[in-house]
Amino acid sequence: MVSGSLHVIHADDRCWFVDCGLFQGGRRDMYTRNAQLPIQAENVAGVFLTHAHVDHSGRLPRLVKQGFNGPIYAAQATIDLCRLLLFDSAFVLHSQTDSLNKKRERRGLLPLPDLYSESDVEQTLRQMVPVKWNQTITPSAKLEVMFFCAGHILGASSIILRENNKVAPTTIAFSGDLGRKNEWVMPNPVAPENTDIIVVESTYGDREHRPYSYAKSELCNNLNSTINAGGRIIVPAFSVGRTQRMLYELNSFIEEGAIPKVPVYLDSPLSIKASELFLEYSNKESAEISGRIDSNKLNCYNVVSAEDSRRLVTKKGPHIVITASGMCEAGRILYHLKENLSDPLSRVVFCGFCAENTLGRLLIDKHESVKILGKYLPVNAAIDYFDTFSAHADRNELTAWIDKQESASTVFVVHGEEKQSFSLAEKLECECKKEIIVPFQGEKFILSGKNVSSN
């Protein structure tokens, strides 16, 4: 699945995590899934974090709450983003647990405790250690680790682990979430050299993204149709990355005259702060952003207070609202959808991946009705999905990243739904001379040099 990313590595007689992500989706067992960790917290020596999105970072405070007190290595931009995302995650999880406990109370069951609190987030941030790209760190005597640019979002990294043991030194490359080549302001992903084993994500392992020109044309036509009819356009977007990209695109469309000049609202305090961080990194010309971002391209009406958000929900069109969350699982997006899904003049535009069992996926899959805030609503609004604007590499870009690592003998295909993972695996089996493995949750492997065996 595309959430809950966590890899357990036993190296140099110690246990390490690569990522510690939150499970996301509408499944009833999500609380239990997020409460449990595969290793006792006190037995974990350290964590290597690829990037800040909560499907990779969101269980770190849970790990800390359970007693982990070791270092969490990450790029500085990832740490800065975690200061935003993990506090927001604590708030969302508290709200979800509160709702779950109300149902449990009606059934005569005891309440469940919060998965973690703001104080756990604060302690998590204190344990984070900044790492620069392309520089080797040695968290233990026989373990070398290097972070490389992965594109995708600010600070996103691929991570290389090398255990220098006497029997068979082993080098593993974890892709993290790979970005696109020549994509907006994110630098291109870097493929490491001299790897033995590759662990690669497969979010879009079953498809090639449509060319930008075609997607832009279709999106502009759809926006114009709704705007001319006086409708409202709702854009669910991840606060980090997709929100800034869609603001950039919409302002460019208006500037070019491709769509009429209508109000664009950013209804998410978290997204507003993330946009400010993007501009901050752009202005200091850091390696995390390739080139300057024109601040005018991120212009919009910022909606901060809950009161202003409630007024916006009932405001007549035409206008465009960008708000979190990208998968429609929590937050202000739910109120905008509740108001607009039954309206045939409205339009909902998805621009990023939505995992199985999320409200976003139900809408993308064209369900005729969905349950929002306890009430089933008919879906009369137009629903669009544009993976062209995703920050994830497609199958060809994933394959190209793997092909550059000629020395690797084995590729583990992870972080994808079953269809996407097996589709990428089939392509790799046909095109590269490597062993391809699609592991399932909880599977264990012994890695020794270029040799892989099941444990």
The closest of 16, 19, 313 to 142, measured between CA atoms, is 16
Q: Which amino acid is at 453?
A: S
Given a contact cutoff of 8 angstroms between Cβ atoms, the answer to whether 47 and 7 are in contact is no
How many domains is the chain built from?
2
In this structure, the answer to whether residues 122 and 49 fall within a common structural domain is yes
Count CB-CB contacts under 10 A for residue 164: 14
Cα 332 vs. chain centroid, distance in angstroms? 19
Given a contact cutoff of 8 angstroms between Cβ atoms, the answer to whether 350 and 385 are in contact is yes
| pLDDT number for residue 374 | 86
Give the burial string for 17-51 (b: 16+ CB within 10 Å, else e): bbbbbbbbbbeeebbeebeebeeeeeebbbbbbbb
- Domain with residue 267: its CATH number is 3.40.50.10890
Answer yes or no: is 1 within a domain. no
Q: What mean pLDDT is predicted for residues 339-356?
A: 93
In this structure, the answer to whether residues 400 and 380 fall within a common structural domain is no
Answer yes or no: is 2 within a domain. no
| pLDDT number for residue 27 | 65
Q: What mean pLDDT is predicted for residues 398-419?
A: 96
Look at residues 389, 405, 422 and tell me which one is the last residue of a structural domain. 389
In this structure, the answer to whether residues 217 and 202 fall within a common structural domain is no
Residues in the chain: 455
Look at residues 366, 389, 412 and tell me which one is the last residue of a structural domain. 389
Answer yes or no: is 264 within a domain. yes
SS3 68: coil
In this structure, the answer to whether residues 131 and 247 fall within a common structural domain is no
Mean pLDDT of the chain: 94
Measured distance CA(92)–CA(14) in Å, rounded: 33
pLDDT in tens, 37-60: 999 999 999 999 999 999 999 999
pLDDT in tens, 85-116: 999 999 999 999 998 999 999 999 999 999 99
Q: How confident is the model at residue 26 (pLDDT cuts 50, 70, 90)?
A: low
In this structure, the answer to whether residues 199 and 118 fall within a common structural domain is yes
Answer yes or no: is 175 within a domain. yes
**What's the Cα-to-Cα distance from 316 to each of 58, 169, 226, 267, 319, rounded to whole Å?**
36, 64, 13, 16, 8
Q: What mean pLDDT is predicted for residues 2-18?
A: 95
Answer yes or no: is 439 within a domain. yes
Measured distance CA(83)–CA(122) in Å, rounded: 8
Q: What mean pLDDT is predicted for residues 139-154?
A: 96
Range of the domain at 325: 212-389
With DSSP H G I counted as helix, E B as strand and the rest as coil, what are the percentages for the chain, rounded to 5?
35, 20, 45
| pLDDT number for residue 54 | 95
Strand-pair partners of 412: 199, 437
In this structure, the answer to whether residues 346 and 405 fall within a common structural domain is no
Given a contact cutoff of 8 angstroms between Cβ atoms, the answer to whether 342 and 335 are in contact is no
Given a contact cutoff of 8 angstroms between Cβ atoms, the answer to whether 428 and 421 are in contact is no
Given a contact cutoff of 8 angstroms between Cβ atoms, the answer to whether 375 and 341 are in contact is no
In this structure, the answer to whether residues 309 and 260 fall within a common structural domain is yes
Q: How confident is the model at residue 178 (pLDDT cuts 50, 70, 90)?
A: very high
The closest of 79, 184, 186 to 132, measured between CA atoms, is 79
DSSP string, 44-57: EEEEE----SHHHH
Count CB-CB contacts under 10 A for residue 420: 21
Given a contact cutoff of 8 angstroms between Cβ atoms, the answer to whether 174 and 142 are in contact is no
Answer yes or no: is 379 within a domain. yes
Query: Is 0.85 surpassed by the pTM of this model?
Result: yes
Do strands 451-454 and 445-448 pair parallel, antiparallel, or not at all (unpaired)? antiparallel
Measured distance CA(17)–CA(47) in Å, rounded: 5
Given a contact cutoff of 8 angstroms between Cβ atoms, the answer to whether 136 and 146 are in contact is yes
Q: Residue 25 pLDDT > 80, yes or no?
A: no
Answer yes or no: is 106 within a domain. yes
